[in-house]
Amino acid sequence: MSISVNEAAHRAASDVEQVVWVDRDDRVLGAKPRHELREQGLIGRGTFILLFNSSGELCVHQRTLSKALYPGFWDVAAGGMVGVNESYAESAARELDEELGVRNVPLTAHERFYFEGPQNHLWCGVFSAVWDGPLRVQPEEVQQALFMPVAKALRLSEQQNFCPDSLDALKRYLAQSQTL
Q: Which CATH number fits domain 5-179: 3.40.630.40, 3.90.79.10, 3.40.50.300, 3.30.470.20?
A: 3.90.79.10
- pLDDT value at position 29? 97
Domain boundaries, the chain: 5-179
- pLDDT value at position 68? 86
- Phi and psi at residue 124, in whole multiples of 5°? -110, 125
- pLDDT value at position 149? 98
Distance, in Å, from the CA atom of 4 to the CA atom of 18, rounded to the nearest integer, reads 24
Distance, in Å, from the CA atom of 14 to the CA atom of 123, rounded to the nearest integer, reads 19
**Listed residue (152, 8, 15, 179) closest to 74, CA to CA:** 152
Q: Where on the phi/psi map is residue 79: left (φ > 0), alpha (ψ -120 to 50), or beta? A: left
pTM: 0.92
Contact 100, 133 (CB under 8 A): no
Distance, in Å, from the CA atom of 145 to the CA atom of 161, rounded to the nearest integer, reads 15
Which of the residues in the chain have pLDDT under 70? Answer: 1-2, 6-15, 179-180
Q: Residue type at 13?
A: A
Mind spelling out the 3-state secondary structure of 79-140?
EEECECCCCHHHHHHHHHHHHHCCCCCCCEEEEEEEEEECCEEEEEEEEEEECCCCCCCCCC
